[in-house]
Structures are given as C-alpha cells and as structure tokens.
Structure 1
Amino acid sequence: MPTMDVFHPRRFVPPLLAACAALPAPGAGIQAPDAAWRTIATAHYRIHYPPMLAGWAQDVASRIEGIHAQVIALVGYEHPGPIQVVLLDPVAEPNGMAVPLLPYPHVTLWATEPRSDDFLGNAYSTWTEELVSHEMTHIQHLTRTRRPRTALDNLFALPLGPLVLKCPRWVTEGYATLAEGRITGSGRPHSALRAALIRQWARNGKLPPYGALDATRGFMGGSMAYQVGSAYLEWLERQRPAQPGVLRNLWKHLASKRNRSFDAAFLATFGFSAADGYQRFQAEAAHDALEWELRLKAQGLREGELFLRSAGGLRDLAVSPDGTRLLASQEARGQSGLWIWRLRDPAPPKRPVRPDPDAPEDAPPESPSRKPAAMLPALDHRVPQAGEWVNDGTVRFQLKHADPEGTLRRRPALWRIGKGVDRAPSTLPPPRWRTLDPLRRGAAWALELEGRPVPLPGQAVGRAFVDEGRGLLWAGSEVEGGVEVVKVPFVREGGAPVFQAAQVVTRTVSGAWNPAPSPDGRTLFFTTLDARGMEIRRLDLALPALSAAPAPEPRFLTTRTVLPPPVEPVTLPQVPGPLPSTPYRAAENGWIQIASGATLTPSGSAWQLGLAGADLLGRLSWQVLGGSGDDAGPRGAMAGVSSAAWAWRPALAVFTATARPSRQSFAPVAADTRRQGGEVSFTYEDRGDHPFWFSPVAAFERVEPLDSGPARTRGLLGLRAGMGALKARGPWGLALHPQLQAFTGTTGGNRWNLVRADLSLRLENPAVPLVLRTSGGRVTGGGAAGEAFHLGGTSTSLVPASLDCGQVEQPALPSRLATGDRFLRWRGEAGGALHAYLEGSALWDPGAGRPPFTRVAGLEFALDNPLGGASEAVLRRLRIQAGIHRPLDGVMKGRTVGTLALVVRP
C-alpha cells in the first residue's frame, strides 16, 4: 500500500520569517483601507472617512439630510435603504463619483476644492453643498426602478435601473448639474464661465451637434454634457411653464412598464424629439450671443490683439523679469505643461516666397504661428502647474508626488531653463512677481492683500497680479454677467494698502482673465475663451480709459442661457454638531453579487459560477465558485477571502480541481489529476513614486493522479516581489517592471526549489506603445518530485497562483505541450489594452540544450492589474483576456485559435 508523504512547514519557516523581518515595517494608514476609518450614520446615509478628513466629514454629515430632502423633492423619487458615502482626497483634485448599482448604490466624494477659474468652481456657495447635491442627484435619479425589485432580481438581473441604461450622458450629467443650481442657488448654472462658454461657442456656430453632446474629446469636449446639457434641460423646462415637473414626467416615462426608449419617452413628454428641440435651443442661444456681441460692439469692444491661440486651456500667465518672454500653464491633450513664448514677433523669412503674379496674395492667418522658446511637459505623467518666474532663467512650479499609499500631493520644484528640473529643491527662492489667489469669503471668491479686501465689481476669477512699483493690482472679475480684467490702484498708508475704485480695462464677448502686465507697464497680456482653444491677447495700456457708449438693450430669447442668473445661496437645513461616529465595520458595509469566470482554450473549456462579496474599502473580499467544463476541464470549486484591513494584506484560498489534459483536443498528455489544497499569503505594497510590493506565500495540496500512481502531497513556501520604475517626459517614456518569484517545497518527500523572473520594458510614445517582455526560470531538485515548468494553457479562477508556479502560460497552446527544468521566453507587443504580439518560448532539461523557440503571433485584448504593473494585484483580482492567435511552430502550427480567459480572485 503506498505511503503518503507529509509536508513539514517547520523546515522553511525560519528562512521565510527572516525574509519577512527584512521587509519594511508599514506605518499607520492615512487614507488607505488599514487607516482608522470611522462612520457617521444619518437617517439616509452612512458616511465613511479616514481620520484626516474628520472635519469635512462633520460638515458633510451636518448638511446631507437637508440636501437629501431637496433632491427628493426635485427628482420625485427616493431610493429605499441607506446610501454609502466614502470621503477621500486621493489626487489633490476636485471631483466626485456616483455608482448607482442596485441594490448597493454608493458615492465617493473628493475633498479638494476647485479654483476660482475652474468651470466646476466658479460660482458655488460651499463645495460640500455643490458636490453632495450633484452626486446625490445622480443616485436618486438613476436608481429609479421599473417596479419593486425582488430577491431574484437582485441576484440575476443587471444591477442597473432603466434610466442608467437609457439616458445619454448629457442627460445624466446635465440634470445633476441643473440640480446643483436649483438646490443650492449657486453652482454651474449660475456661473459666469458657463454663460461665457455658451455665448462664445454659440456665436461662432461651434455648439456641439446633438449627436456630439456626449463626446469627451476636444477642447472642453468632456464638459459639454455638464454645461450645455444643463442649459438645454433648463430651456426645456421653460418651454413648458405650466408643467413645473415636466422633467419628472420624462423620468417616469423612462421607468414605466411600457419600456420606452429615451427618444420615445422624450417625444411622449415634450411632443418633439430631443434632437429637434436641441436645434431650436442652438438657434436661440446663437441669436442671444450675437445680440450680446452687438451690444458690446456698440459700447466699444476692448479685446486687444490676438497673440496666440492654444490647443486647450491656459492659466497663470506671467511675463519674464526682462520682459522678453511669456510663461503660461497649458492644459491640452498631449501638450499639457509649462510653455514659454518670446514676445518679439517672429522675424520675416530671410528669403521671402516669390509672389505668383497670377494669384492673389494670401490673407494673413487669424492666429499667429508661434513656436515655444521652451516647454516643460508632463514629467512621469504628472503635469507641472502654477509656474512663476524666479529670475530670467528659473521658474518655480508645483508637481505632484505619490506617498506610499499612492495619494498625490503637490510639492514645489524648480525649472532651470535649458539645464533641467530640480524636483526636490533644498531651498525654494521667492517668485519675482507678487500674485494673489482668490479666497472663499462666504459664497463668493474674493481677493485680499495683506488682510485687506480688494474692491472688485464682482467675484474674483483666476490669479491676480500685484504691481507694487506702480501701485496697481490687476485681476479677473465678474462684470455685468461677464468676466473682464480690472485694475485697482492702491497707495500705502502706514504700510497698509488703501484701495481706490476698480477700473474695467477690457470689454470682451467671451470673457478675459489671467492678467499679466509687462515689467515696463506698457502692455497687458490676458486670456480669453474661444471654441477652438483659449487665447492669449495683448492690450496696449497707453489706450485711453474704457468708456461705455449708449447701446440698445439686447433682445434675448433665452436670457438665462447666455447670462448667468445671480448667485442666491439657499439656506439649507444643517444639523448642529459634532455628530457621533463609530469605527468603520466591513461586515456592515458590504454587498453580495454573482461572480463568474471562464476559460475557452485548446487546453479545455471551463466555466465557474458563484457568489462574491466585498465592502467599500476592500477590507473584506470573498468569493465562492463552483466550476464545470468539457472533458478536459478543469472542474471543481474554490472559496477565498482577502482583507486590506492591515498594511500586510492577508489572503486565504482553498480549492478542489480536476483536470484531464489527456482529453484535450490537441496533443493530449497523460497527466490527469485531482487536486485539493489551499494557499495563504500576506502582501505589503508601496504605491509611491517608486512602487514595490512583497508577498510571502505558503501553499499545500494533495495531488491524486487519475490514471496511475499514488497520491502525493505537495507544499511550498515562497516570496513574490515586484517593483516599478518610470521615466517619462511628455508622451515619451520608459517604464520598467521586474518581478521575481522564489519557492522552496517538497513533493512526494523530495525537496525542490523554483525561481522565475519576469522583466517588462514599455516604450511610451505618441503613436503606439511598444512592450518588450522576457522571462525565465529554473527548477532544481524537481526531477524525483516531478516538478518542472510546463508550457501551454492558462490559469483559472479555481487554483491559487502559487500552486501553478510552474506553468508557462500561452492560451493558444494545449496544456503541457512541453516540459523542462528550465524555461526562457521573449515577447514583443505593440498597442495598449488591444495589442498585437509575437512571442517565443523554450523549455528544456539541463544538459539537453535549449530547443528552438515555440512561436505564437496574435491579436489580444487584455485587462489585467488595473493598479499598475508593479502591483501584487497582477497575481489576483480580475483578469480579462481574449485573443486570436496563430501558432507558428509545433503541433498547432498554421491553426488560427480564438481564446477567452476571465479569471477572478478574492
């Protein structure tokens, strides 16, 4: 009777503990799941927050129920049950996200407030009210269901309401934007920048056509769903003054049992199609924008001359101390960064083009062509911002850096033009020019100089410039529904500034802000809005003071579209605090859903189905799967759990799996087994500027051959580790991702060791990313144990990754096409998630010599490891891979193979 060997972990525990002791000791979490998160419960919400956001959490909790009541009254629907809210500040940018999944909707709110010249933040009363109103409108609007959901719906129906599936993006985002204005009396519907955008696009015939309202590309393209979408919905309400709830009727039509499409529901609500109504809206907006332009022309425009037009947004202008160059921050696809232009007009060509006597002279271009004198693009995919001159050869700016949790924060840096960048200067010299950033004072943006308020005609917009020598302050300010540059003279009395009345110095149709005077005081540079990209204009300051000639009042058709209604903050109910909080508990904030996996390859077809659960922070994730398949399999079941409640994240999985490669369609091999076992691992991850991860792992299984031979036990201890490095400048970059796996174990009483290394090199460029990968491995002592690398097939959701450490995956090849104690692989890819590839693999035993590579070419779509190449998530979580392959060697040569792999791990 065969004996069963026993795996003895004590042989390997000391070296494993020694390796773990050498790893970095994690600190206390700040925003990570292992931080001391807490929860504030209100009547309808559960607000979860890390300690650093405790103050903001109290503000959100005190206002959210008052906002909730207004949202319900506006939308006409209330989602049953509490709604989860997570507070974060991950990238130092303003944003929020609503996830209207049924029956577990949740919202994420980011704490960083927008700037005064952001289209998001130009006219809000408080950031909390605007953000909460917008995101909660999404939840109540989009979770409306056709009928009460049953338990079967929750398990098997698509977890989305009919409005999510039917409404275009301009409706969902436009309605939430409309709601933030309606509920708070402020927000984007009251913004002078929204009105300026619509005026400028409309007067130039550039409002997006109806079919492009959902677009996200182009200058301001992603904002059109919010800005123009909300204005169109407001216009639709004004077409039905006798039906104040006309939009609620539209939502009811969409959710009715008649299951109408959006177009049919819109027609049933308004009597005309959405596209026809939008064309009329465009016509009225264009009429009113031209009326506004005629009025300003009659008064006398003061727009300066066009210096250049950019491909995107511009802010933070500044003239160099010697007056010869202009600095600006540009935000444009592929061109974001700090730009410097020479102020002297380009010299005419040395050899002018000989005119053609038979052709008329070319008209001069509307926008002068100016090449930058210098440019600092994105560095490692992080855009330099807020540039300021230190001297004629140095600019200080802000650049984001990642802490160990991956949270981005801005830090000062220095750009020595023509010499390089100092990302961590030991000393930071002061800027040459004094500037002021607007401050929130009540429900408005204001400027203060040395604690004294600056008198402006309206809200401050963008960065202001202080000319101490001439006693002038230059600023962007709201003026009569637009935005213009004003100057505010001041003198000093007893060292403190005393201001005179502000004087408007520009009169534009589209708005003017970001003033930057030249050092000699003769010229003013500023930005204006254009549908093709923001412009920089320059104004001769020797011109006489601006005056207003009599002008007829414009005859508007839709005033509230092209001119902003005044900000009239609504006093919303607020619960006095502090409100009580309790420690966050994963078990109380989780959800359950259907989980599935699949593999369709030449090595076999298999399907897995089961349940999975997780909580909002990932502190507790689990799944239970059962698997079936064709004769080759694998078939079986698994259960797993992982937790991010600690800095060293534990994970545990147990499984049973039966695979029969003897029954695969191509190159069958007698290696049928039934496997039962489990894996436990711990993972520490640093997501800073130079990310890395470590994961000690232990695994055990019983392997029972199905053809012949005794059952045997197999156990291993090991360490998986990886890191990432990136060096990028603009669209060009080089990313390096090495990974190492080292295991020691016993099989059938025989000791073995396995080491494998992987190296990925990614060349980023403006065209097609190129990736070169190489990997190799060695098994020692594996002959008697039957341990070896084996080529072909793919991993599944059933078996833990460490127990398949010898598999050299290639989904287009049958399982165990080749085996050996050594392996070497190379692979080249061109593309991103969808890429073409060519790879070659060779497996051999020592002394036999390396055989020719088995090559495979193909086209593949892969979504793997969304957190980045250096993350341990590459070995767990979700992997989706589909491809069409063409093996170039071996038994599969000349065949075209389609494959699909969906692997899920807890």
Structure 2
Amino acid sequence: MIANSPGWQQLLILHEYIHLVHLSQPSRSSWRQHLRDWFDIYDLSSAVLPRWVAEGYATLLESRLTGRGRLYDNYSEALLRAFARQGALLSYGALNNGDGSYRSGAMAYLLGVRFLAWLEDNHGKETLDAVWTRVHGVQKRNFESAFKGAFGQSAGQLYRRFIAEFTYQAMTQERDLAVLNSPLWFEPDFAASNAVLSPDGQQIAMTERDREGETWLRVYKTEDNEEAKKAFEKAQQAILAADPADIADKPPEVFKREQVAQLAASDFSGILYPQWADKDTLYFVARARVDETRDNRVNDLYRWHMPSGAVTRLTQSLGIRRFTLLDADTLYAEQVRSGFSELVRVEISSNTVTPLFARDLGTVYDYPQLAPDKRQLAYLKTTLNGNWQLYIQDLQGAEVRTVPMPEGYQYLTAPAWQHQGQGLYFIAGLHGEVGVYRYDLQHNALYQITNGQAVFEQLLPRENAPLLYLHSTSSGTRLHELGDQISEQRVAKLSSNAAVPLGKTDTVVLPDAQIYMAEGADITQSEYQWLMQDASATLSLQGSSAVSELVSVGVKGSDLLQHLSWQLGLAQSGDNVLDGSYAALRFRAGDWRFDAHLSDYRFDSRRQHAQAEQTKLTGGAVSGRLAYEWRSDTWSVSPFVALIHYDDQGRDAITTQWSGLEQGWHNYQQDFALGYRLKAGILSGDAKGHGYDWQGFGKVWNWPWFAGVQSQYRETQLLRLGGFDNNILSGRTRSDLVLSPELPFQFASGRHYYGYELATSWALNQPRFFMKQHRFDGQRSATSYGIKWQIDLSQQALGWANWFAPAGVTDLRFDLGVARVESDLAEDDLRAWLGLWYAL
C-alpha cells in the first residue's frame, strides 16, 4: 500500500531506517548489552517487539516526519472505515499476524499506526516514548510490562477503547454517505483482482487468490447462470417435498457464473495483469526465474491459448508490470529495470523495446490504458514528493493532456476508458474515502459518481450496461453493478497542481526527497569487500534417545552477502559418547561454491543409550568440495568434485575422491506438484564405490507426499549406519557413514546399503509421518516409522532476509522426531531426537 502514497520512495527508505534505529537501541544493562554484542540470536530476540508495534511505530514516524505516509493515506483510511462498519476490525490478539481474513496481514501497519497515533493524541507523545525507554532498562521488561507501567493499563485494554472510538466515528460518517444500491454481480471465493472483459463482452477473466495465497487465472461467462439457478430451485423443491413443514433456503444474491477455463500459477510464478488478445487468448505477466541470479525472478510476458491449454513465454527478462495491447505483437507497458520506471512500447516478435519518454530516477509510471480507437494512451505518473497524476498521450502526435483532479485529492488508481472512448473513469481518494470519477474529454469536465460507499479497487465499463466495480470487504473482494439511479455531480473545485495535502507532523520534518547524484556525474565505486566479516558466538544443542546429547559452542562469521561464511567450535556429550572440535568454511562466487570441513573427534559406541556394534573412533578428518550450478526455469544441474581424508587411530588413513552431480526438477501448479532432487557420485582412491540419493515429492489435491531412495556401495570399505548429523562426525568429512537419527551410531555395517522412505504431511514445511527401511547386503537391518520435522530454520523464519541476516542467525537447522524402530539386530524400541544446530 505504500506505493499509493506520494513520495513513496522516500517513505519506504525512511520506514526501514526507522526499524533500524528503533529496534537496535542498546540495553542500559551492561551485561545484557555485552551478550547482545557477542550473540546474534540473543541480540535478535532482545530487539524483537510485537509485529504491530514495530511496523506500527515505523509507519507512525514515516507519517509524522513527512506529513504523508499510511497514517494519512485515503485508501488505508477508507479500508479501515469500511471494515469498522462491518464489525471486522481485528482483536488485539490477532493484530500481529492477522486472523486469516482478507487484508488482515496488513493490519499490523494500518491499525497499528492508528492505535499508536491515538495513544499519542490521548495520552501524550512522552508517554509512548517512555515505553521504549522502559523496554531497554536495567530492569528487564517485555513490551507488555513496559507498556502497562507507562500507561497504567494494558495495551489490550486501551486497544479495545481505540477500536470502539474508531468504529463509532466510522458509523457516524456513514450517515452522511449517499446510499449505493448496487446489486452483486459476481462473488469470488475469496479475493479477485485484475478483472477484464473479453472483446465481445461474453467472458470475464480475473486473477483469483485463496486464503493460503494460491493463485489462478479464471475465465467465466458473463451471462447469468440459469443452470445453477434451476439446480438450486430443484434442490429446494426436493427438500420441501420430503418435509412440507420445512423452510427452504433463501437464494443467493447472485448465482456464481459458469467457469469456462482455469490456469493455475506454475513454479511459484504468480499470474498478473491479464489482457485479452482475442476471445480465445489471454496475455499475462508472471515472475520468471532469472538464470544468472539464483532465486531471483523478473516479470515476463506469457500467452495462454484457452482451447489448447498451451502457455507460451513470449519475452526474456523484460521486467514489465501492467500493460495494454495494441495488437497481438505490440503492447505498451511500464518497465522496471535497474531502479528506473519507464513507459515503453514493446514489439514482441522483434524483441524491440522503445521508451516513450526520457527516463528519470524520480519518476514512476503505472496503469497504461489504450483508448478503444488505439489513438490515445492514458497512464498514471508520479514524481518525487508529488501526487499521482493521470495523463492522456496522443499517439499520433506530441500532445499530452493532464486530467483534472478534485481539490485536495490524495490516492489515484485504476483508470478505465469508457466503451466509446469519450471519457475516462478512475478512482481517487478524498477526505479519508475513495470514490469513482469520470472525466469527459469533449467538455474537459470532471464528474464525481460515488465517494465513500465502498473501497473501490477497479472499474469495468461495458457497452449498453451499467459500470461494474470491484471493491474490498472484510470477507474478500466483490464485483458489483453500479445502480442506474446514481447521478453524477460536476466537480467544481479542481486541484491546481500535484501538491500533496499534508497531515499532522512532528516538530522535526524531513525536507522534500531529491535525487542527490546528478545524471552523468561521476560515481565512486569500489569492489565488494567479502573479507569484512561479522562474527557471533553460537550455541547448539542436539540429542537422541539412541545415542546421547551433544552440546556445541563456537564462533560463526560471514560477510553481509554471505560470500564467505565460516564457523569454529567445540562439541561435548555429557557421558563422553562423542566429543571433539570442528571448523567449516563456505565460499560462494556467482554460481560457484566451495566448501571445506575439518574435525577432530573421539567416539565410543559402547556408551550410547541403545545397542550397537562395539567400536571406538579417535582421529581427525578434512574435506573439500567444489561445485558449479546451472539453473534454467524448473531445472538445475550441479556437477561437483570432492576430496575426503580421515585418519582413525589404529587404522589405515582413508583418502577418497568424489565426482558426481546433483540434479533437480520440479513442476509446481499449486494443488498439483511433482519434483525430485538427485545426488549421484563415483568414489575413487582408498574407498572405491558409488552411490546415489534420490528424493522425490509431489502434491495431489493439496495433499503432499514424499519418497526417497538411497544406495551406497563400497568395494572394500565398511559402511556404518546410524546417528544424527553433527559437525564432528558426519558425511561431510567421512565416506563411510549413512546417518539416520532414530538409530545409534554404528548400529549396523556392510558394503552395500539400500534404504527407502515414504512420507506424507498435511502441508509443506510441516511435520511428516514417515516409514523408512534400511538394508545391508540384501538383509533388512531396521524398519522405522513415526513423525519427524526437519527444516532449514533460518530460511523458514527469515525468508529472503536470510540472505542478508547476521552470521549468528543463518545456517540454523532444526530436527525433531519420534519413531518406532523394529529390527532383528536389537530390541524394538521407541526413539526420539531433537536438534538445533548450525551446519554450513
């Protein structure tokens, strides 16, 4: 929503900078501050405030320091007023992360900032500031304790009062709004956007999203669904025939229109901004993978032919957003590349991109819309510190027309041409509400159609039929038909410029945003210094009822972009089953990756909690591995070479060379998915052999399943089965280990290991129910079944921020499980394990 605000570039940078200052305030307790300085996880946990507090306060200052921002944004205010009138403002307990209802995830910002502003207005700015002072005191307090001590009441109590006042004001304001008798035309299951009518008006396409974030492009007939109506009436008649005293269901406001076709988002790419090329073909934008940059995506243009179901990628790394079609080969679009927003003409077949205007870092474009006669182009544009403005470009000449706006407006979106091109509809914000306007080109006149009756999102003009509008409710989006009785009102007071109406500010106000580096001026650059390292103390805890516990302490470091990451540490189990020291290093350079590991270990299988073969290992190990990865859409291939050397006291040293590849493929279509990851290699040197590990996954009707097959063969070396992954005795530094956490180390041995696993879960990244069998040299060694949860905790918790996080909170693994183990080699038993540790 911040992009709707004038000068949003400055607001975005300011918002994130406020987070940095607000959340990194030092503790006045010297020992706790020293611990924060040396231990990243403790530092992060100490800095974390409830999400609504952190986001709400950054949004509050973004607005108070500029007079702009989401506290004063007309769209945000209109959305909250509408939700208040529906009794749908979140409870205090749901404010952090929402309750699954529509737009609830944004309420930490929108409701949070208004609650904090209400606190300042009613209790004084100094009282709110006292909360931050108390949070960082020598006396340790969490936010709730610090808040109650400063205000005398809990945050939850005052929040309920704030909601009551906000709802009362919204209900009072509703009395002044004209009644909008607009019948429901279409009701999506949850949320819809980017609706567009086919050229003949017989079909409507839209992007739909469910509560879990899954996205589809769906096409419906625009005619009433008479078959659905007949089916409903028949069902009610059957109910009354069986029980004449019963009361039939009330028919819905509108029967869902017949679905013609559906396209699921594939490979996590999303589906955006569909446009009709003809009655059978839709163009749309999706986020395609950029081959050169791992896990980075760029918007490209796709074509969907509905009768055949064929989806074709039309461009490569084009970087466009909204677009409008001139013909099947030509379009106008906003292109975003290298920080610049440009309005461009794209010739698809020749891959020609022609800018319409000179680019400027402070200018942003949006919503290009061709007139029905293809001779004029309407578009939105904003410059630094200015309102969004609507323009009309004559494509046959150089004339540009500025569309007049109502005086005091802020927020502008969704221009749409009237069917004959005689005018433009658009949505604008005024006095905390959003409304529908029409600009008459012939008479250069602006008319207001509605204001405040709904949270208008999009407009769909039709020939010889009322205007359709999409609007937001607390239950999702709805498509309504504007009533015929609505009368337009000529707007007399027009805005004289694109100046932004400012809200209440603090004493200190930021100056207007500006571009400080002039175009063409020399820019000082320097090479990225990956040797500038950040370091943190680390603590890892692992344990297994089959083995023992293992506690590791160490130091971990990396540069900001994690080109070079490393760790050093000591590990010790309480009963001397396993102890030692370790070091690890990882270096990334583009698609190249180098890993090195060093460990010193002492292991005694006789001290383990579960029965296993008797052995003692004392020695050291070192390994190095070099890999290069190619990625192309859904495929990845990574050849690698590795060298492993380990030396156990009393035994011959083993030096082994690995050469092989990792290869992966996936096809993800939301309710259906299929993919696999294969690692295969050949060993040479002292431990000749080969092996592979295949892991497959799938999803059918939103039910995920997993399968794995692992095989390892050694000509002369014995393979050892069992044990949990760790940093001193692992497959990264030895070629003779097959780890499995429900089994003790050295549970069984042999030359040819074969194992398979089947698992399922109720959702991705959640605990799995599994069954696993281990075999050595053709004989069953053990069968395990239970539940386990293994995740990359850093990636799961931080998402994309994991790539830029401090060293002490990255590369963190979590492993939890309970399993029944059945074997002829030992007594059947129930095993459990738990691990929270760092692994490069």
What TM-score bracket applies, with the shorter chain setting the length?
A: 0.7 to 0.9
3-state SS of paired residue (1:202): helix
Cα pair distance change 1:827/1:598, threshold 3 Å: same
1:735 aligns with 2:675: yes
Does 2:741 correspond to 1:770? no
Q: Would you say 1:656 and 2:592 are equivalent positions?
A: no
On the 8 A contact 2:535/2:555 being kept in 1, the answer is: no
SS of the residue corresponding to residue 65 of structure 2 reads helix
CA shift in 2, pair 1:424/1:261, >3 Å: closer
What does residue range 43-54 of structure 1 map to in structure 2 within 5 Å? Answer: none
Aligned residue identity for 2:642: V
Cα separation, partners in 2 of 1:864 and 1:732, compared to 1, 3 Å:
same
Deviations 1:734-756 (A, max 9, x none): 1222221322121xxxxx42211
Q: Deviation of residue 309 (structure 1)?
A: 3.2
Aligned to 2:335: none
User: Aligned partners of 1:510 and 1:651: how far apart in 2?
Assistant: 57
Give the CA deviation at 1:547: 4.2
Structure 1: distance between partners of 2:836 and 2:135: 34
Query: Which residue among 471, 475, 488 is the counterpart of 1:546?
Result: 488
Give the alignment partner of residue 342 of structure 1, picking from 202, 207, 221.
Answer: 221
- The alignment status of 1:596 with 2:531, answered yes or no, reads no
The reply to whether residue 481 of structure 1 matches residue 423 of structure 2 is no
Shift of 1:382: 2.1
Q: Hey, what's the Cα distance between the residues in 1 that align with 2:670 and 2:39?
A: 46
How do 1:355-366 and structure 2 match up within 5 A? 355=240, 358-359=245-246, 362-366=249-253
852-861 or 392-401, which deviates more = 852-861
Contact 1:735 1:763 in 2 (8 A): yes
1:110 counterpart residue number: none
State the 1:877 CA deviation.
4.7
Aligned match of 2:344: none
Which deviates more, 345-354 or 208-217? 345-354
What do residues 303-323 of structure 1 show as CA deviations (whole Å, max 9, x unaligned)?
Answer: 522123334443322111111
Map 1:567-606 onto structure 2 (within 5 A): 570-572=510-512, 576-577=516-517, 580-596=524-540, 598-606=542-550
SS of corresponding position for 2:473: coil
The 5 A counterparts of 1:214-229 are 214-216=96-98, 217-229=100-112
Distance 1:894 1:360, change over 3 A: same
Write the letter of the residue equivalent to 1:328: M
Which residue is 1:835 aligned to? 768
Q: 1:428 to 1:754 in 2, by over 3 A?
A: farther
Deviations 1:826-885 (CA, angstroms, capped at 9, x unpaired): 1011124311111001011xxxxx2235211121121149779xxxx9xx9543212111
**CA deviation after TM superposition for structure 1 residue 482, in Å:** 1.9
Query: Is residue 88 of structure 2 the alignment partner of residue 206 of structure 1?
Result: yes
Cα distance between partner residues in 1 of 2:415 and 2:210: 23
Change over 3 Å in CA distance of 1:270–1:170 after alignment to 2: same
Match of 2:586 among 615, 618, 642: 642
User: Greater CA deviation, 470-479 or 753-762?
Assistant: 470-479
Partners of 2:62 and 2:69 within 8 A in 1: yes
For the 8 Å contact 2:612–2:748, the answer to whether it is kept is: no
Name the amino acid aligned to 1:123.
Answer: S
Asked if the contact 2:617/2:648 (under 8 Å) is kept, the reply is yes
Q: Which deviations, in whole Å up to 9, do the C-alpha atoms of 1:553-586 show, x marking residues without a partner? A: xxxxxxxxxx994999952586943664432212
d(CA) in 2 for partners of 1:254, 1:375: 52
The equivalent position to 2:422 in structure 1, one of 465, 471, 491, is: 471
Letter in 2 for 1:761: G
The answer for the alignment partner of 1:859 in structure 2 is: 787
d(CA) in 2 for partners of 1:501 and 1:163? 57
2:370 to 434, 439, 443: 434
| CA spacing shift, 1:411–1:777, aligned 2, 3 Å | same
Asked whether the 8 Å contact 1:778–1:821 carries over to 2, the reply is yes
* Superposed displacement of residue 618, structure 1: 0.8
| Aligned counterpart in structure 2 of residue 408 of structure 1, from 281, 297, 304 | 297
User: 1:532 corresponds to which residue?
Assistant: 475
The structure-2 alpha-carbon separation of the partners of 1:130 and 1:687, relative to structure 1 and needing over 3 Å to count, comes to farther
Deviation string, structure 1 residues 486-515 (Cα, Å, up to 9, x no partner): 222225xxxxxxx71222223442332311
Cα pair distance change 1:431/1:374, threshold 3 Å: farther
* TM-aligned CA distance change 1:134 to 1:266, over 3 Å: same
Match of 2:120 among 231, 237, 250: 237
For 1:636-655, what per-residue CA distance to the aligned partner results, in whole angstroms no more than 9, with x for missing partners? 11222222245422222222
Q: Does the CA contact (< 8 Å) of 1:603 and 1:792 recur in 2?
A: no
Tell me if 1:290 matches 2:162: no
Q: For residues 855 and 622 of structure 1, do their structure 2 counterparts lie closer, same or farther at Cα, with a shift above 3 Å needed?
A: same
Distance change >3 Å, CA 325–CA 699, structure 1 → 2:
same
Q: Which residue of 2 aligns with 1:68?
A: none
> Is 2:71 the counterpart of 1:189?
yes
Supply the distance in 1 between the matched residues of 2:793 and 2:85 (Cα, whole angstroms): 46
What is the alpha-carbon distance in structure 2 between the residues aligned to residue 663 and residue 792 of structure 1? 15
In 2, the alpha carbon distance for the partners of 1:688 and 1:595 equals 38
Amino acid at match of 1:696: V
Q: Is there any run of 5+ residues in structure 2 with no aligned partner, and where? A: 316-326, 333-368, 372-377, 394-399, 492-500, 797-802, 804-809
> How much has 1:465 moved relative to structure 2?
2.1
Task: Give the Å deviation of 1:265.
Answer: 2.5
Indicate the RMSD between aligned Cα atoms, in angstroms: 3.1
Are the equivalent residues in 2 in contact too, given 1:608–1:797 (CA < 8 A)? Answer: no
> Which of 367, 379, 403 is equivalent to 1:454?
403
Name the residue aligned to 1:33: none
Match of 1:744? Answer: 684
Select the residue among 622, 626, 639 that pairs with 1:694.
639
Partner of 2:17: 136
Whole-Å separation in 2 of the counterparts to 1:160 and 1:611:
15
Residue 264 of structure 2 aligns with an amino acid whose one-letter code is P
TM-score by length of 2: 0.81
Structure 2: distance between partners of 1:614 and 1:642 = 9
Q: Which has the higher strand share?
A: 2
The share of aligned pairs that are identical, in percent, is 21
Please say if residues 76 and 110 of structure 2, whose CA atoms lie closer than 8 Å, have aligned partners that are also in contact: yes
| CA distance in 2 between partners of 1:895 and 1:232 (Å) | 55
Q: Distance in 1 between matches of 2:69 and 2:190?
A: 23
Task: For 1:620-635, list aligned pairs within 5 A.
Answer: 620-630=564-574, 633-635=577-579
CA contact (8 A) 1:434 1:467 kept: no
Q: Secondary structure at the match of 2:774?
A: strand
Give the counterpart of 1:811 among 714, 738, 741.
741
* Correspondence for 2:153: 272
| CA separation of 1:743 and 1:142: change in aligned 2, threshold 3 A | same
The reply to whether residue 125 of structure 1 matches residue 7 of structure 2 is yes
Q: What amino acid sits opposite 1:434 in the alignment? A: L
Contact 1:840 1:854 (C-alpha < 8 Å) held by counterparts: yes
Q: How many residues align?
A: 733
Kept after mapping to 1: 8 A contact 2:591/2:630: no
Q: Measure the CA separation in 1 of the matches of 2:249 and 2:170.
A: 31
CA 1:311–1:257 in structure 2 vs 1: closer, same or farther (change >3 Å)? farther
User: Per chain length, whose mean CA-contact separation is higher, i.e. which structure has more relative contact order (CA < 8 Å, sep 6+)?
Assistant: 1
CA distance in 2, matches of 1:840, 1:892: 15
Q: Point out where structure 1 has 5 or more consecutive residues left out of the alignment.
A: 1-118, 492-498, 550-562, 706-710, 747-751, 845-849
Q: Distance in 1 between matches of 2:701 and 2:128?
A: 44
Structure 2 counterpart of 1:397, one-letter code: F
Q: Is residue 2:819 matched to residue 1:885?
A: yes
2:278 and 2:41 mapped to 1: Cα distance?
60
Read off the aligned partner of 2:705 and give its amino acid letter. L
Within a 5 Å distance, the mapping from 1:13-32 to structure 2 comes to none
**Per-residue deviation, 1:768:** 4.0
Residue deviations 1:267-313, cap 9 Å, x none? 3322333222212211211111112211013xxx3452212333444
Asked whether the equivalents of residues 748 and 781 of structure 2 are also in contact (C-alpha less than 8 Å), the reply is no
Q: 1:643-698: per-residue Cα shift (whole Å, max 9, x none)?
A: 22454222222221122224434334243222223112212234542223232111
* Structure 1 counterpart SS, 2:130: helix
d(CA) in 2 for partners of 1:191, 1:501: 26
From 722, 738, 742, the equivalent of 1:792 is 722
SS of corresponding position for 1:195: helix
1:248 and 2:122 are equivalent in the alignment = no
Task: For 1:664, give the aligned amino acid.
Answer: Q
